[in-house]
Structure 1
Amino acid sequence: MPKKIQMPSLSGGTGGIPEIMKRIMFISPYAGRAGAEVYLYRFLKNYDEQRFQALVVTEKFSPLFASLQPKILYTYMKKSSIVMETKKIVRQISSKLQKQDKPHGFGLFVEEVHRQFKPDEWVLNSILMQKVMPSVLRMQAHTTLIVHEMPSAYSFVSMQSMQAMIKYCQRIITNSSSSSKALSVMGREDIRLQPCFYDAEEIRIHQSRNGLRSELGIEPDDFVLVGAGSLDFNKGIELFMQISEASSGRAWKFVWIGGERKTGFNHFINCLYARLKVNGNLMILSEKDHDFYEYLNICDAFLLTSFNESFSLVTLEALALGKPAVVYDCGGVNDFMTEVSGRIVDSRNPKKWIDTIAWVEQNYKQFPASELKALAAQYSTKTQVPALTALLSDDENHA
């Protein structure tokens, strides 16, 4: 059972706060500073709390969401109690008799929170929240689904859950035209497009760029190419390493920022790195937190080698730092990448990438930092959060 949620008063006549404020329960994954979690964190950090009251529910503890209290309410599922386990068993038996989906333990927790908070709407922050769909149907909750994923991630969701989310969620929001197109194939044409956004307040550079480059053994005249993301197959780390190998001898340095996942693929990457790092032009750094932008800022250009991305926020953040990007034609980047901001590569042949990078290096003056930052500013929290706030509060006339 969740502990009693301390509910602030919703009544009052000051500051234009309505006597009955809409309540939204956001149900989110949390696995560290990943895309869906950071998206919701930045939104709630910057939204106008007079528009609706927000509660976030996660399965695991999230320091990100906890840091937003008391602006929002936050709770997470702790170790299952005997009472919760008993309820789960009873409902599993009941659902089997009625030929319904079995309830998930986290779904039962969400139901208990629902009874306390009494939300007007549930918002599932990712298709990975499929586990609460049986609870959505059982509680007949008015539900919005935010889709951050491309089709390559659909394999992590059961067919039954995907069908249910597409059919029963009253509203679906996604962050790129590529993602929207994929959803329309499954029968939903009323998709709402809401781009991702970065928080300019988070992009603060305190350390000397040249000093950090020097610490990493980068020469002043080296052309530095940075990639970022977890060391998984979809991020294209192998291609990034192949490009570095094929460009050995050039005054280029390749730096990847991101944590490993302790998988067989990571073992393969570690072995490949051990072989390639002797070339002296490749380094893989551990995952960064508060100092991420310091390391991103060492680059001369950003490389996005992912197979699929619904938006690629990190590419946008590189532009916000005034860095051009060379990106694979992987989906959502097409919504904001133009020849003003860099180049899109439609091949996974390292030679094609080397030719494109060389062109960007030779024509670097065509990418003034001021223009890149101006392009990125269109996707800042300042411009995008009010639009999403209006959409969720059903008041788009006041975006």
Structure 2
Amino acid sequence: MKKILFITQNLERTGSEMVLWYLFNNLDKSKYEIHVFCMEKGSLYNLLPSHIGKSVVYKKSGSLKQKIWRTVLKTVGINPLSYQLTALHNKFKPDYWYVNTLVIPWVYQVAKTIKVDVVTHVHELLQAFTIIKRNDFRLMVEESKVIIGCSEQVCEHFRVLGHEDVRLQSSFIDASDVHIELDNVEALKRKHGIGSSDFVWVISGGTSYMKGFDLLVSLLIEFKNPNIKFLWIGKQRDDGLNYYIEELARSKYPNQLIFAGAQSDDYYNYMAMGNGLLLLSREESFSLVTVEAAFLGLPTVGFGVGITKSFLKEGMGETVGVGDLEGLMLVMEKWHTHTVDKALLKTEALVYDVEHQISRYHKLLDEL
């Protein structure tokens, strides 16, 4: 039996975390024993299958005992994160670590110190590289025995750097996990003031600049029709941009911008409230939400990021160049009345379903 220590951010309902979630729920437990170490407890953390071990950093554990122990370690000059991860490694004795995303750079120095093999699954593109210090990024590349990219674009960045073992594992959805409750969808529409004649653009992700949150200002000005609504699903950030856009929408464009917040159980019900997915991201390594929308029969309109340019076919949506806001508005207007090929959308989405992808993922893990 192979033992793998997965290290990830939070098991929240985001693209990179959902890939692990689907893997965990479909991994052969007779072949793999796994433990998941998180930086925070996301909405899926406590829903992990019972046979999977899990732990979270002392600071976010909610345990007074662990918090006191963390304080003791800091007092005597010991790094609590390094100590905890090393202790977990020594207790679990994994064959290798599987680090999910680039944004946990401190783990690579620990791995180097205790001489453990590391596999890194990269879901980020160049913009994310800017938030990691030069030496941390270099160490990540050097200490990763294998780098897995979620798309060919990601893989190519590391091939250019000369890494000798770069693998592709596309992100994917679990179609069996998609449940739409029509009564609930209608109740949510009533709750948020969405009528039968409204056209709803769904946007999914955190309310950040990289996700194109700022572009809502121009879109609200352009689409003054109260029957055109924007439904943003995702965690709202506590910053000035969010305050500005909320106040602008409330005072000038009432009821056109709806914030659903972060969703778990009702995520797909909120998605099903839409007539189309609006992709405003300035950069996406894959864009899992495009696949989710397709499975639900929603066309995608937006910037040509991630897999969208190759994924979207006639009747499935349309993209424009990144930053081409004028072109985006024209395409949005077109798709308010455009014919949608829902059957094709679902067929293409199933290429990125767990049933199709999990055997490839298993084969990859078997080879590591």
**TM-score normalised according to structure 2 size:** 0.89
State the 1:257 CA deviation.
Answer: 1.9
User: Which residue of 2 is the match for residue 284 of structure 1?
Assistant: 259
State the 1:89 CA deviation.
Answer: 7.4
User: Which residue of 2 is the match for residue 47 of structure 1?
Assistant: 27
User: Which residue of 1 is the match for residue 8 of structure 2?
Assistant: 28
User: Matched residue of 2:367: which SS?
Assistant: coil
Q: Which of 371, 375, 388 lines up with 2:344 in the alignment?
A: 371
Against the structure 1 CA distance between its residues 110 and 221, is the aligned structure 2 distance closer, same or farther, given a 3 Å change threshold?
A: same
Asked if structure 2 preserves the Cα contact closer than 8 Å seen for 1:245 and 1:276, the reply is: no
User: Which residue of 2 is the match for residue 305 of structure 1?
Assistant: 280
1:321 aligned to 2:296? Answer: yes
CA–CA distance in structure 2, aligned partners of residues 188 and 277 of structure 1: 50
Asked if structure 2 preserves the Cα contact closer than 8 Å seen for 1:144 and 1:172, the reply is: yes
State the identity %. 27
Letter in 1 for 2:203: G
CA–CA distance in structure 1, aligned partners of residues 48 and 192 of structure 2: 35
CA–CA distance in structure 2, aligned partners of residues 369 and 242 of structure 1: 29
Q: Which of 213, 236, 249 lines up with 1:260 in the alignment?
A: 236
Asked if structure 1 preserves the Cα contact closer than 8 Å seen for 2:73 and 2:80, the reply is: no
User: Which residue of 2 is the match for residue 105 of structure 1?
Assistant: 80
CA–CA distance in structure 2, aligned partners of residues 135 and 55 of structure 1: 17
1:273 aligned to 2:249? Answer: yes
CA–CA distance in structure 2, aligned partners of residues 174 and 276 of structure 1: 43
Question: 5+ residue gaps in structure 1?
Answer: 1-20, 93-103
User: Which residue of 2 is the match for residue 13 of structure 1?
Assistant: none
CA–CA distance in structure 2, aligned partners of residues 311 and 136 of structure 1: 28
Asked if structure 1 preserves the Cα contact closer than 8 Å seen for 2:287 and 2:305, the reply is: no
User: Which residue of 1 is the match for residue 200 of structure 2?
Assistant: 224
Question: 5+ residue gaps in structure 2?
Answer: 60-65
State the 1:347 CA deviation.
Answer: 4.6
CA–CA distance in structure 2, aligned partners of residues 63 and 36 of structure 1: 14
CA–CA distance in structure 2, aligned partners of residues 267 and 222 of structure 1: 26
State the 1:23 CA deviation.
Answer: 0.6
CA–CA distance in structure 1, aligned partners of residues 24 and 112 of structure 2: 26
1:195 aligned to 2:170? Answer: yes
CA–CA distance in structure 2, aligned partners of residues 303 and 159 of structure 1: 34
Asked if structure 2 preserves the Cα contact closer than 8 Å seen for 1:111 and 1:135, the reply is: yes
Asked if structure 2 preserves the Cα contact closer than 8 Å seen for 1:327 and 1:343, the reply is: yes
CA–CA distance in structure 2, aligned partners of residues 54 and 31 of structure 1: 15
Against the structure 1 CA distance between its residues 273 and 334, is the aligned structure 2 distance closer, same or farther, given a 3 Å change threshold?
A: same
User: Matched residue of 2:34: which SS?
Assistant: strand
User: Which residue of 1 is the match for residue 212 of structure 2?
Assistant: 236
Write out per-residue CA displacement over residues 86-131 of structure 1, whole angstroms, 9 at most, x where no aligned residue.
6677786xxxxxxxxxxx5322211111111111111011111211
Against the structure 1 CA distance between its residues 76 and 317, is the aligned structure 2 distance closer, same or farther, given a 3 Å change threshold?
A: same
Against the structure 1 CA distance between its residues 70 and 85, is the aligned structure 2 distance closer, same or farther, given a 3 Å change threshold?
A: same
Deviates more, 1:76-85 or 1:252-261: 76-85
CA–CA distance in structure 2, aligned partners of residues 283 and 388 of structure 1: 37
Letter in 2 for 1:202: D
Against the structure 1 CA distance between its residues 70 and 215, is the aligned structure 2 distance closer, same or farther, given a 3 Å change threshold?
A: closer
**TM-score normalised according to structure 1 size:** 0.83
1:353 aligned to 2:333? Answer: no
User: Matched residue of 1:218: which SS?
Assistant: coil
State the 1:266 CA deviation.
Answer: 2.2
Aligned residues between the structures: 361
State the 1:78 CA deviation.
Answer: 2.5
CA–CA distance in structure 1, aligned partners of residues 105 and 130 of structure 2: 12
CA–CA distance in structure 1, aligned partners of residues 196 and 156 of structure 2: 44
Against the structure 1 CA distance between its residues 172 and 90, is the aligned structure 2 distance closer, same or farther, given a 3 Å change threshold?
A: farther
Q: Which of 158, 180, 184 lines up with 2:155 in the alignment?
A: 180
Letter in 2 for 1:70: S
Letter in 1 for 2:253: K
User: Which residue of 1 is the match for residue 46 of structure 2?
Assistant: 66
State the 1:189 CA deviation.
Answer: 5.7
1:293 aligned to 2:268? Answer: yes
